[in-house]
Structure 1
Amino acid sequence: MIRIHIIGGAGSGKSYIAALLSQKLTIPHYDLDDIFWDNEVDVYGVKAPEQQRDQKLREIVSQDSWIIEGVYRSWVEPSFSAANNIIVLMPPLSVQESRIWKRYEERISGVVPSKKRETYEGVKNLLEWNKEYNLIKLPHFTANCGYTEKIITVSNNLDVLELF
C-alpha cells in the first residue's frame, strides 16, 4: 500500500512528478484541481460544491494506493492523514514563475490542450498568490501540520523519483 500526497506551489512540478511516479510505481495519481474546480462551467475559476469535492476526495483516499497532488492544505486533511509520505516541492520561486508563464503560453496558443481557461490577468494574480504561498503559507504548513514525520521536502522534483 503506497499513498503519497505531493504538495507545492504553482509551477513546482507537482503534476509532472506525480505522473512520472505514478508510472514508475504503477499506481493512479490524482490532481486535486480536478475535484476542487468546477470544470463543467464556461467560466474559469468556479469552485465545485464542497460536498461533492469532499466526497470525491474520500473516494480517492479509500483506495489502497494513490498519489494525490495539489496546492491545497485545509480541506485535504483526510489525504494527509492516510498518506505514507507527504512530499513538499519547493524549487526556487524563479523556476516556478518561469514554468507558470511557459504553461500559460502553451495553453493559450493551443500547443498544449487544457480544460482550464486562463487569462493574462489570472496568471498575474496566480504569480502573486504563489509568492505568498511559497514564502509564508507552505513553510507554515510544514512546521505546523501535525504530520512532520511524514514530510519530505525537496527543491528538485526529480529527486522524488529516487526516494521510491
Structure 2
Amino acid sequence: MKIHIIGGSGSGKTYLANRLSEEYNIGHYDLDDLLWDNKADSYGVKRNTDERYAMLQEILNKDNWIIEGVYYKWCKQCFADADRIFLLEVPRHTYRYRIIKRFIRRKLGLEKGKKETLKSLKDLLKWADSYSANDMTEIKKLVEPYENKVIRI
C-alpha cells in the first residue's frame, strides 16, 4: 500500500499518517524531513534539490509507504505512484486551533518539536491561511487525474 497524505498545517496529516502506519505496519515519511536539513547548524536550511530528490526516490522505490506533508510542486511522482491520496481540508477555525494548541504543548514541553516563538506562530497562522486559500486550489487541480484514488477529508 502506498499512501500520500496532503493538507495544510493543523489538518491532521501527521495524526492520520501515524494511525495508518501503526494499523498497517507501513513506514511513515514526513516531507519536512526531506526538504529541511535537520543536521544544519542553523534553523531553516533547505537540503539541496538533488539530495532531496534522491531521498524521495528511495522512499518511492519501496513496496509500501505513507508520505505526508504540505508540499506538492516537487512531489508529483508521489501522487502518481500512490494507491490512495488523502486530501485533508479542514475549516479555518479547526486548523488554527490545532496550530495554537501544538505551539502551547511544545512550549510546555508536552510535545517535542522545533523551537518556536510568538512571531513564528503568527507567521505560521498567516501561512496556513494562505495555503488554505491558494495552494489547496492548485492541489485539487493536481489530483484531478487521480480522482479514483482520492479520499477527501
TM class, shorter-length: over 0.9
State the superposition RMSD in angstroms. 1.4
Task: Provide, for residues 42-80 of structure 1, a one-character-per-residue CA deviation record: whole Å limited to 9, x for no partner.
Answer: 432221111111111100010001110000010111211
Quote the Cα distance in structure 1 between the aligned partners of 2:16 and 2:76: 21
Aligned identity (percent) is 42
Residue 122 (structure 1) aligned to one of 120, 125, 128 = 120
Which letter does structure 2 place at the counterpart of 1:45? Answer: G
The answer to whether the Cα contact below 8 Å between 1:58 and 1:78 also exists between their aligned partners in 2 is no
Matching residue of 2:65: 66
Task: Provide, for residues 88-141 of structure 1, a one-character-per-residue CA deviation record: whole Å limited to 9, x for no partner.
Answer: 011111111111111111112222122x22222112111111111112211232
Matching residue of 1:57: 56
Moved over 4 A (4+): none
The answer to whether the Cα contact below 8 Å between 1:142 and 1:151 also exists between their aligned partners in 2 is no
Q: Secondary structure at the match of 1:97?
A: helix
Equivalent runs, 1:147-162 vs 2, <5 Å: 147-154=146-153
Quote the Cα distance in structure 2 between the aligned partners of 1:143 and 1:74: 12
The answer to whether the Cα contact below 8 Å between 1:89 and 1:153 also exists between their aligned partners in 2 is yes
Equivalent runs, 1:14-163 vs 2, <5 Å: 14-114=13-113, 116-145=114-143, 146-154=145-153
Quote the Cα distance in structure 1 between the aligned partners of 2:76 and 2:142: 13
Structure 1: unaligned runs, 5 residues or longer:
155-164
Which letter does structure 1 place at the counterpart of 2:107? Answer: I
The answer to whether the Cα contact below 8 Å between 1:18 and 1:67 also exists between their aligned partners in 2 is yes
Count of residue pairs the alignment pairs up: 152
Quote the Cα distance in structure 1 between the aligned partners of 2:142 and 2:67: 20
Which letter does structure 2 place at the counterpart of 1:129? Answer: W
Which letter does structure 1 place at the counterpart of 2:132? Answer: N
Quote the Cα distance in structure 2 between the aligned partners of 1:126 and 1:71: 13
The answer to whether the Cα contact below 8 Å between 1:12 and 1:96 also exists between their aligned partners in 2 is yes
Which TM-score applies when normalising by structure 1? 0.86
Quote the Cα distance in structure 2 between the aligned partners of 1:118 and 1:44: 11
Which letter does structure 1 place at the counterpart of 2:38? Answer: N
